[in-house]
Amino acid sequence: MSAISDRNVPSGLPPSDRSRPHAPRQGRRLAFTIDRILSVLIVLPSILAISIFVYGFIAWSVRVSLSAWTKGLIPNYTYSGLTRYIELLSDRRFGIDMRNTAIFTSLFLVVCLIVGLLLAILLDQRLKGEGFFRSIFLFPMALSFIVTGVAWRWLMNPATGTRISGLNLLFDQLGLDFLISRWHTTPPPWGIAFVVIPAVWQMSGFTMAMYLAGLRGISDDLREAARVDGANEFQLYRYIILPQLQSVTLSAVIVLGHTSLKIFDLIVAISQNDIKLDVPAVYMWRTTFDGSNYSRGAAIGIVMLITVAVLIVPYLISSMRSQEAKL
């Protein structure tokens, strides 16, 4: 069988069967074998790099997390079992981190999906200037979380009285005083919920783009048929269109979910070390590189990896299966 995959070849014959009569058999075989070896050689450096920098380093992180390297820059690999992980269970700061991650991730997912879907449906109404609106909702995607964080820290400034500024000032001037808020400085646990606002601002355009692509994939005939059957616009979306967008929602959950489980820069830029807004990614950074507690840092990193893997691995496996099924 040929190594060139024949996904796009309509004929039922494998390509090797068709190309066989064109060339003397022996020569082709030889050239072909060389090409096969070459194909592996070409991707080998990448495979090696990933084996070392991803899998090797993960293994090494696990080793560090099981060590007694809790102080200083000089490694101490004395084996100390699961001590670091057990410590994390009763670590107050890590408890705050886990709670913050749970609140942030669930709110972020729900709000981002709803806003993204809403924007996509609004843009799917054969508008003039659709491209213009689309670019506006998408542009925050091009920014770094640091830029977003710096800008939103001022927008969400909680000061009151004569120091009032940012969105609070805007609401005050527009007579929308009931919207004035302490934003991310709201007492725990809800301060972190306000950090969802800049995160949604940045990522909802992406969700919109995914849903829009999904909506464009639904045939007009189907919509027409539903309308002929007397469905109104709401029923059309509720019963015909939304059920067809499930796979888009799944992909969006994967991308948004893993982004938010490891959220780091946005928190750093907005919280500026406020422990009430802490998340595991920030704790890992601080405890490792400021506190020199390498084994605790490694343990946090591994816990984060496991959380993300629970979400990603099933998706990757099913993705691979469908890829194989296509061949």
Partner 1 sequence: MTFARRFSRIVLYALLILLSVSYLLPIYLMLVTGLKPFAEVNLQTMWQLPNRIAFDNFLEAFDKLWPHLRNSLFMVLPAALISSMIGSVNGYIFSKWKFRGADLIFTLILFGMFIPYQSILIPLVQFMQFIHLRGTLPGLILVHIIYGIPITSLIFRNYYAQISTEILEAGRIDGAGLIGLYRWIMFPLSIPGFVVVLIWQFTQAYNDFLFAVILTNTAQWPVTVALNNMAGSQIVQWNVQMAGALLAALPTLLVYILLGRFFVRGLMAGALKG
Q: Which of residues 180-199 bind partner 1 (CB under 8 A)?
A: none
Part of the chain binding partner 1 (CB under 8 A), chosen from 76-84, 102-110, 143-151, 236-244? 143-151
Q: Which of 100, 304, 286, 63 is nearest to 188 (CA)?
A: 100
Q: Which of residues 221-250 bind partner 1 (CB under 8 A)?
A: none
Q: Which of residues 163-182 bind partner 1 (CB under 8 A)?
A: 163-167, 169-170, 173
Instruction: Give the dihedral sign, CA 118/124/209/246.
Output: positive
**Whole-angstrom distance, CA of residue 196 vs CA of residue 154:** 15
Q: Which of 66, 105, 284, 286 binds partner 1 (CB under 8 A)?
A: 284
**Whole-angstrom distance, CA of residue 53 vs CA of residue 42:** 18
Reduced to 3 states (helix: H, G, I; strand: E, B; else coil), residue 67 is strand
Beta bridge partners of 79: 67
Q: Which of 58, 72, 10 is nearest to 304 (CA)?
A: 58
- Residue 144 touching partner 1 (CB under 8 A): yes
Q: How many residues bind partner 1 (CB under 8 A)?
A: 115
**Whole-angstrom distance, CA of residue 166 vs CA of residue 170:** 6
- Least separation in angstroms between CB 63 and partner 1: 9
- Least separation in angstroms between CB 214 and partner 1: 11
Residue 108 near residue 199 (C-beta atoms within 8 A): yes
Reduced to 3 states (helix: H, G, I; strand: E, B; else coil), residue 79 is strand
- Residue 267 touching partner 1 (CB under 8 A): no
Residue among 154 and 239 whose Cβ is closer to partner 1: 154
- The one-character DSSP state at 156 is T
Q: Which of 13, 82, 102, 127 binds partner 1 (CB under 8 A)?
A: 127
- Least separation in angstroms between CB 13 and partner 1: 11
Part of the chain binding partner 1 (CB under 8 A), chosen from 80-88, 103-111, 180-188, 287-295? 287-295
User: Roughly what angle, to the nearest 10 degrees, separates helices 191-216 and 92-123?
Assistant: 40
Q: Which of residues 93-122 bind partner 1 (CB under 8 A)?
A: 119, 122
Q: Which of 29, 22, 41, 21 is nearest to 2 (CA)?
A: 29
Residue among 191 and 211 whose Cβ is closer to partner 1: 211
- What one-character-per-residue DSSP string does 113-126 give? HHHHHHHHHHHTS-
Residue 313 near residue 135 (C-beta atoms within 8 A): no
Q: Which of residues 14-73 bind partner 1 (CB under 8 A)?
A: 15, 18-19, 22-23, 31, 34-36, 38-40, 42-43, 46-47, 49-50, 53-58, 60-61, 64
- Residue 300 touching partner 1 (CB under 8 A): yes
Q: Which of 68, 109, 151, 231 binds partner 1 (CB under 8 A)?
A: 151
- Least separation in angstroms between CB 187 and partner 1: 23
- Least separation in angstroms between CB 110 and partner 1: 18
Residue among 114 and 141 whose Cβ is closer to partner 1: 141
